[in-house]
Structures are given as C-alpha cells and as structure tokens.
Amino acid sequence: MRLSYRSGGLRLKGRIHLLAFILLLGVVWACAEAPVTGRKQLILISESQEMALGLKAFQQVLKEERISRDPVKNAMVRRVGHRIAKVVRRPDFQWEFVVIDNDDVANAFCLPGGKVVVYSGLFRYVRNEASLATVLAHEVAHVVARHGAERMTHALLARVGQAGLNLAIQNRSPEAIKALNAAYGIGVNVGALLPFSRQEELEADQIGLIYMAKAGYDPTEAVHFWRRMARAKRGKTPPELLSTHPAHQRRIRQIQEHLPQALLYYRKGRNP
C-alpha cells in the first residue's frame, strides 16, 4: 500500500509540473487586453475554442427553449442588436438575435461568436430602445472582452492550485484533507472567483456604455434601467460578497462616473 500511495503521489507531482509548464507558456503567449478599459488579461482558451463552445450552447438553447413569435419584440431586439454589432466591428462573428418566450425570466446573454438571447421577461423593465441597448451592449461587451474564456482560465488556475494543495497535504488524515479542501474551495470562490466575476460585470457596464453611445443610444438611459432593476430586486439578491454581480447601487455609481466619456461618443454621433 505504501509503494502504491507514493507512486500515486509521484504521478500527481508529475501532472502538477506539466500543468505548471503549460500555464507558464500561457502567461508568455496568452496575454490579451480588454477593449475600452485596456485591462491586461490572461486567457488560455483560443477564440476558435470559445466560438465552438458558444455555437454548441446556442444550439442547445434553441432545442430546449420556446422561441418567441412576437413580431414587435423580435424586430426590436434585432434592430438594436444589429446597431450595436455594427459599432463592435467583429466581422468574424455570425450575429444572431433570438427572443425566448418566457415572461418569468428577465435576462439576456450573448455567446461567443455573436449569438444573442433575450428572455421576454426582460421587457418588463424595457421602456424604449435605449433601455434594451443597455442590456444588449453589456452582454456583447462580455463576449468581445472574452470574459468567459478569462473565467475558464481562472477556474483552471484554481484547479491547479487545488492539485498542488493535495500534493502538499497527502500525508494528512482523510478528515484533514477534506477540511482543507473545503476551506480552499471557499477561499478561492469568495476571495478570488466571485470578486473577479463582479469586476467583469462592472467592466462590461463600462464597455457597454461606450458601445450603446456609439450606436446612437443615449447612455443616460443605463442609469434609469438599472434603477428600475434595483427597485424590482430589492431584498431578493444575496450580499455582494457572495454574489457574482455587484450591488445595484455600486453599479449605478460606476455608470454615472463613466457617463461623461460615453456622452462624448453619443454627441459626436448626433453632431458629426
């Protein structure tokens, strides 16, 4: 048993060294930069992989969800979406805009490659095209900034860290190993993954504000939209520390801080 245990440890150690080498190469070759903000990023997932995953997920959505036949909602989503897509300038994206008939869900998302899904429940908070542009530009910003691939990279780093922890504590009791792994999981989630997810949400707000302004939509509407969402969600969201999204008031404050820059693009478009 001892020989088998040590052999397993050696194999684990070998895998750690291999993963560390791969990640080191990633640090050298996979540095990227987010649009608008210029934030440096580490991404170990190729765009072709991202787009393949996005297409697969989109096809799954189309199979599982009921597509809306509402001509007004569909026309509005396509009209606003194409205006935002035009200013993003990603000719390699195959843009598609779909409305899902589900009034219980007030949500939208964009998948790599330009597949945009809007749930009909979102229209409870949409007052005009600029309201819808607030959401669509935010979701498109996530994809253009490659936030999904960035999160996958962080998850990979977390798994490598946990494998390293298990290598270091392999001689502890099963109870100690279980407790340390649980503590590691909570620490990584609350201390790293969730804060990073909130940072990405705020970054998507900032980038989206510029996109909607360039597309000709008044960016001040973003403040009104998120205030409506804040009133609707009051008392229904977890504390920010335990959430993937920032608190509504924090989000609104940051949008207000970035409004002057976005308004420059908006006014320039109206007065070329």
Q: Is residue 34 part of a domain?
A: no
Q: How many Å from the N-terminal Cα to the C-terminal Cα in the chain?
A: 77
Backbone angles phi, psi at 85, to 5 degrees: -60, -35
pLDDT of residue 226: 93
Catalytic residue among 50, 129, 139, 221: 139
The top-scoring range by mean pLDDT among 172-181, 196-205, 255-264 is 255-264
Q: How many domains does the chain have?
A: 1
Annotation marks residue 175 as catalytic: no
Percent of the chain with pLDDT over 90: 54
Q: Side by side, which strands form the sheet with 108-111?
A: 96-100, 115-119, 108-111
Are the beta carbons of 222 and 254 closer than 8 angstroms?
no
| Cα torsion through 155, 157, 159, 165, rounded to 10 | -140
Residue 94 lies in a domain: yes
In a domain, 169, yes or no: yes
Residue 202 forms part of a structural domain: yes
Tens digit of each residue's pLDDT (9 = 90 or more) over 108-151: 999 999 999 999 999 999 999 999 999 999 999 999 999 888 88
Residue with tokens 């440096």: 40
- pLDDT given at position 174: 57
Query: CA separation (Å) from 2 to 5, 6, 30, 131, 194?
Result: 5, 6, 41, 64, 40
pLDDT per position as a tens digit, 180-206: 344 433 333 333 334 446 888 899 999
Please count the other Cβ atoms lying within 10 Å of the Cβ belonging to residue 105.
13
Domain range enclosing 116: 40-270
Give one DSSP letter per residue of 34-56, joined into a string.
-TTT--EEE--S-HHHHHHHHHH
Contact 73, 99 (CB under 8 A): yes
Q: Is residue 234 part of a domain?
A: yes
pLDDT for 10 equals 43
Give the H/E segment covering residue 96.
strand 96-100
Residue 102 lies in a domain: yes
Query: Which class for 222: exposed (0-12), middle (13-18), buried (19 or more C-beta within 10 A)?
Result: buried
Predicted local distance difference test score (pLDDT) of residue 248: 85
What is the distance between the alpha carbons of residues 220 and 213, in angstroms, rounded to a whole number?
9
Nearest to 111 by CA among 138, 84, 131, 139: 139
Residue 146 lies in a domain: yes
Query: Above 90 in pLDDT, residue 67?
Result: yes
User: Roughly what angle, to the nearest 10 degrees, separates helices 147-168 and 129-144?
Assistant: 50
Q: Residue 210 falls within a domain, yes or no?
A: yes
